[in-house]
């Protein structure tokens, strides 16, 4: 005799009130990341000769998808790549640019796509530049030379060189990363916290001599699991607290050993990571008796199957190949639900997370995939990001759910519901973003609305599928898309009632 199906869970509940908020959403929370890694750049966003390529070699089919995705700040050129990068190699006439060995990804870099091409790309997708400087093999001098080339109006060797290369107007880059993951043993030029803190301070001071108004990001830990986590942040900020504006965070998640329940709860780790870094920053600020507040640049985050041999290849099959296929994860519906939950975690901490970069933008653990000479298409993770970027602008309301719990091997008991809500200050419209982590049962939801003046459900969009492994592929690029929820999402008497499908990402728009 078979066991009876599990009982339906009780409803999850929360209250929304405009007097209780987290804070405004900085649009740069919807940023992304372009690194010279695998096919992110070459045959991703840049492919001269492609049927859709414009006169600068950019794939217009990819540009259209990026605009639809709604990315804002875009971090460049790395990533691990930046710790050995010579920015001068990627400027000027293309036929004079050198080919170099890229030690980070054991590839050959043609330098056919460089700073000017990146800025042209940003203009076409409406993005803001977030430049990283090489503090691995280089340092203070290189950083200020790049800043002068990029931002000085003219009348000096490097600013005039930029003009000679075709860009008379300065690029106006405001947001700069002081290196990348310098705590990691894998990083070219890896440094101790003391060494990096001193270098970051010197670099920041020199860059501010050119432009005091820059926003600067210091390297935090490469992950909460690093043995030096928190001690690294504390030491680095002890050096450069008054010189920087943000500290970076990086986090990636994957399903391990078939433990899907824990994977679906990945955002539990994300939220604790953010709160621990904020506590460390504030502790250092208190020790220094500073009135300044350091915010978070969560400039690498995603689902990444690092332990999958097909994804985790750090050395291409052919050594020193040009634009090899690396880290090209094909995401499932389950991955998209976890991805949406990570977005919710970022929004729930919008008071301190002011920049966030989905790593990466095209082909490499990305929401967009392409084939050389062929089509481009949306991965399952494309949809939560595009919806959050479109409807997640405004003020985050303080959401404290009461939810049924489920047990995970990694995080203990975890709420089935993960949710946040954002209010558009101009229209008063509210969007609820919600994930049902339960794999088998729908989750009833009740939201009490106070003082918001809302009277209508505009839309309840769901990303879910009977097959949690469903994916969009070259053969079936439209296999997975959001769909309208079944009838039953209603707003009556100041209470929103809905049912969240099992293993689902939900967007409920109210006006």
pLDDT in tens, 333-367: 999 999 999 999 999 999 999 999 999 999 999 99
* Cα 475 to Cα 26: distance, rounded to the nearest angstrom: 37
Q: What's residue 1's pLDDT?
A: 43
Burial state string for 429-438 with b = 16 or more CB within 10 A and e = fewer than 16? bbbbbbbbbb
pLDDT at 2 exceeding the cut of 50: no
* Cα 217 to Cα 244: distance, rounded to the nearest angstrom: 6
Contact 168, 208 (CB under 8 A): no
Contact 464, 486 (CB under 8 A): no
* Cα 336 to Cα 505: distance, rounded to the nearest angstrom: 8
- Which one-letter DSSP state was computed for residue 298? E
pTM here is: 0.96
Question: pLDDT (tens digit, 9 = 90+) per residue, 450-467?
Answer: 999 999 999 999 999 999
Q: What's residue 41's pLDDT?
A: 98
* Cα 344 to Cα 356: distance, rounded to the nearest angstrom: 12
Question: pLDDT (tens digit, 9 = 90+) per residue, 134-151?
Answer: 999 999 999 999 999 999
> What's the pLDDT band for 489 if we cut at 50, 70, 90?
very high
One-letter-per-residue 3-state SS of 299-321: EEEEECCCCCCCCCCCCCCCCCE
Angle (CA) 28-31-36 rounded to 5° is 140
DSSP 450-468: -SS----EEEEEEE--SST
Question: pLDDT (tens digit, 9 = 90+) per residue, 4-26?
Answer: 445 556 899 999 999 999 999 99
Alpha-carbon radius of gyration of the chain: 23
Q: What's residue 308's pLDDT?
A: 75
Report CA-CA distances (Å) from 202 to 140, 186, 215, 235, 460: 7, 24, 15, 15, 51
Question: pLDDT (tens digit, 9 = 90+) per residue, 58-80?
Answer: 999 999 999 999 999 999 999 99
Q: What's residue 314's pLDDT?
A: 53
Q: What's residue 311's pLDDT?
A: 61
* Cα 89 to Cα 269: distance, rounded to the nearest angstrom: 39
- Mean pLDDT, range 326-335, rounded to an integer: 96
> Which residue among the candidates 233, 243, 254, 300 is catalytic per the annotation?
300
DSSP 31-86: EEE--SSTTSTBTTTB-TTSTTB-TTSBBHHHHHHHHHHT--EEEES-SGGGGG--
Q: Is 128 a catalytic residue?
A: no
Q: What's residue 359's pLDDT?
A: 96
* Cα 489 to Cα 497: distance, rounded to the nearest angstrom: 6
- Can you read off the two tokens belonging to residue 180? 């990348």
Residues with Cβ within 8 Å of 26's Cβ and at least 6 positions away in sequence, in order, are 350, 353, 354, 355
* SS3 call for 497: strand
Angle (CA) 264-248-120 rounded to 5° is 100
pLDDT at 373 exceeding the cut of 50: yes
Q: What's residue 316's pLDDT?
A: 59
Contact 132, 180 (CB under 8 A): yes
Q: Counting Cβ atoms within 10 Å, is residue 319 exposed (0-12), middle (13-18) or buried (19+)?
A: exposed
Contact 457, 450 (CB under 8 A): no
Question: pLDDT (tens digit, 9 = 90+) per residue, 25-36?
Answer: 999 999 999 999
% pLDDT > 90, the chain: 95
* Cα 485 to Cα 479: distance, rounded to the nearest angstrom: 17
Q: Output the average pLDDT for the chain.
A: 96
pLDDT at 305 exceeding the cut of 50: yes
- Which one-letter DSSP state was computed for residue 471? B
- Mean pLDDT, range 151-161, rounded to an integer: 98
Q: What's residue 272's pLDDT?
A: 98
* Cα 483 to Cα 479: distance, rounded to the nearest angstrom: 12
Angle (CA) 139-141-146 rounded to 5° is 95
Q: Is 300 a catalytic residue?
A: yes
On the question of a cis peptide bond just before residue 361, with omega within 30 degrees of 0, the verdict is no
> Which residue among the candidates 109, 148, 181, 271 is catalytic per the annotation?
181
Question: pLDDT (tens digit, 9 = 90+) per residue, 91-113?
Answer: 999 999 999 999 999 999 999 99
Q: What's residue 307's pLDDT?
A: 82
What is the pairing mode between strands 368-370 and 376-378?
antiparallel
Q: Which domains does the chain have, with CATH numbers?
A: 12-19+398-473+481-510 (2.60.40.1180), 26-391 (3.20.20.80)
DSSP 337-400: HHHHHHHHHHHTTTTTEEEEEEE-SBSSS-SEEE-TTS-EEE-TTHHHHHHHHHH--SEEE---
Residues with Cβ within 8 Å of 439's Cβ and at least 6 positions away in sequence, in order, are 260, 261, 264, 468, 502, 503
Contact 176, 134 (CB under 8 A): no
Contact 118, 131 (CB under 8 A): no
> What's the pLDDT band for 319 if we cut at 50, 70, 90?
confident
* Cα 64 to Cα 124: distance, rounded to the nearest angstrom: 9
On the question of a cis peptide bond just before residue 220, with omega within 30 degrees of 0, the verdict is no
Q: What's residue 212's pLDDT?
A: 96
> What's the pLDDT band for 446 if we cut at 50, 70, 90?
very high
Question: Residue 14: how many CA atoms within 13 Å on its side-chain side?
Answer: 20
* Cα 303 to Cα 339: distance, rounded to the nearest angstrom: 7
């Amino acid at each position: 005799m078979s066991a009876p199906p599990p009982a339906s869970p009780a409803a999850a509940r929360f209250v929304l009130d405009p007097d209780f908020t987290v804070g405004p959403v900085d649009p740069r929370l919807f940023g992304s990341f372009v690194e010279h890694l695998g096919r992110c750049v070459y045959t991703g966003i840049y492919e001269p000769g492609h049927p859709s390529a414009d006169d600068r070699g950019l794939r217009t089919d990819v540009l259209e998808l990026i605009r639809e995705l709604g990315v804002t700040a875009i971090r460049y050129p790395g990533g691990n790549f930046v710790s050995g990068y010579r920015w001068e190699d990627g400027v000027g006439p293309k036929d004079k640019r050198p080919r170099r060995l890229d030690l980070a990804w054991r590839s050959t870099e043609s330098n056919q796509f460089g700073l000017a091409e990146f800025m042209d790309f940003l203009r076409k997708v409406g993005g803001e530049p977030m430049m990283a400087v090489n503090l691995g093999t280089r340092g203070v001098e290189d950083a200020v030379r790049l800043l002068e080339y990029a931002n000085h109006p003219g009348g000096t060797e490097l600013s005039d060189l930029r003009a000679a290369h075709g860009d008379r107007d300065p690029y106006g880059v405001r947001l700069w990363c002081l290196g990348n993951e310098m705590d990691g043993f894998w990083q070219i030029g890896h440094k101790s916290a003391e060494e990096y803190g001193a270098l970051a301070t010197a670099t920041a001071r020199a860059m501010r001599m050119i432009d005091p108004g820059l926003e600067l990001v210091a390297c935090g830990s490469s992950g909460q699991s690093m043995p030096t986590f928190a001690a690294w942040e504390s030491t680095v900020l002890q050096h450069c607290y008054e010189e920087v504006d943000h500290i970076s965070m990086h986090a990636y998640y994957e399903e391990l050993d078939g433990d899907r329940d824990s994977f679906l709860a990945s955002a539990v780790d994300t939220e604790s990571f953010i709160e621990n870094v904020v506590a460390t920053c504030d502790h250092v600020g208190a020790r220094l008796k500073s009135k300044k507040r350091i915010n978070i640049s969560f400039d690498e985050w995603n689902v990444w199957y690092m332990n999958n041999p097909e994804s985790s290849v750090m050395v291409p099959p052919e050594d020193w190949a040009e634009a090899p296929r690396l880290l090209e994860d094909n995401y499932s519906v389950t991955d998209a639900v976890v991805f949406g939950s990570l977005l919710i975690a970022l929004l729930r901490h919008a008071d301190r997370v002011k920049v966030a970069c989905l790593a990466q933008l095209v082909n490499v653990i990305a929401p967009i995939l392409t084939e050389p000479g062929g089509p481009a298409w949306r991965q399952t993770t494309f949809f939560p990001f595009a919806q959050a970027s479109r409807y997640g602008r405004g003020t985050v309301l303080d959401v404290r759910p009461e939810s049924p719990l489920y047990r995970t091997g990694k995080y203990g008991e975890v709420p089935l519901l993960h949710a946040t809500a954002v209010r558009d200050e101009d229209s008063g419209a509210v969007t609820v973003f919600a994930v049902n982590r339960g794999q088998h049962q729908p989750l009833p939801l009740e939201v009490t609305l106070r003082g918001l003046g809302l009277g209508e459900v505009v839309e309840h969009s769901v990303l879910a599928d009977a097959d949690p492994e469903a994916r969009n592929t070259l053969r079936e690029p439209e296999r997975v898309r959001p769909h309208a929820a079944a009838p039953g999402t209603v707003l009556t008497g100041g209470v929103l009632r809905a049912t969240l499908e099992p293993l689902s990402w939900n967007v409920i728009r109210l006006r």
